């Protein structure tokens, strides 16, 4: 067998996009009615990323409150709790809750992990610090779980 030829997918996509634009211009030039095109792949991807972004914001706040208030996590344990929610929950949301279908060519783990990293961290820190500060002023209270155990 010979050497496999390396295919640059980006160039192939750009070429296809240019061909589609030429077809569209020809149809408009001949006077045919412009057909409303359904949402493009880019629009669909941005919609998916927007949903993931806001889910990450809610997840950041709720995971900080749950981790500190219910389980009483502090320090490294809270940091590990944050990392678990930061890296695993987006995949659960993407594949099981929202049931997004990704093309083999389009799929990339970065498109699931990257949307909303900043807002997740920001909301986690704000809510975690606020919850910890409030609980600090309540004497002999560490977590809700502690109330049920003792």
User: Span 19-44, mean pLDDT?
Assistant: 67
pLDDT for res 112: 76
Q: Which two tokens stand for residue 88?
A: 């695993």
Answer yes or no: is pLDDT of 42 > 80: no
pLDDT class for 77, splitting at 50, 70, 90? very high
Residues 102-114 have a mean pLDDT of 73
Q: Do residues 63 and 124 touch, judged by C-beta distance below 8 A?
A: yes
Task: Specify burial of residue 136 (Cβ count, 10 A radius: 0-12, 13-18, 19+).
Answer: exposed
pLDDT reading at 126 higher than 80: yes
- Give the model's pLDDT for residue 105: 66
Stretch (H or E) spanning 47: helix 41-65
pLDDT for the residue 114: 80
Q: Which two tokens stand for residue 30?
A: 């001949």
29-43, 68-82, 116-130, 132-146: least confident range:
29-43
Q: Nearest to residue 100, comparing CAs of 59, 48, 39?
A: 48
Give me the pLDDT at residue 31, please. 63
């Amino acid at each position: 067998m010979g050497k496999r030829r390396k295919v640059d997918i980006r160039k192939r996509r750009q070429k296809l996009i240019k061909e589609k634009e030429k077809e569209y211009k020809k149809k408009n030039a001949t006077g045919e009615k412009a057909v409303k095109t359904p949402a493009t792949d880019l629009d669909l991807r941005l919609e998916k990323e927007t949903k993931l972004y806001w889910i990450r914001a809610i997840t950041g706040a709720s995971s900080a409150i749950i981790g500190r208030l219910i389980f009483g996590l502090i320090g490294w344990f809270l940091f590990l709790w944050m990392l678990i929610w930061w890296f695993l929950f987006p995949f659960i949301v993407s594949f099981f809750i929202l049931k997004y279908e990704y093309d083999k060519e389009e799929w990339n783990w970065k498109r699931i992990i990257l949307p909303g990293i900043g807002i997740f961290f920001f909301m986690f820190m704000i809510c975690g610090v606020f919850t910890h500060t409030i609980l600090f002023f309540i004497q002999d209270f560490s977590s809700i779980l502690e109330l049920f155990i003792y």
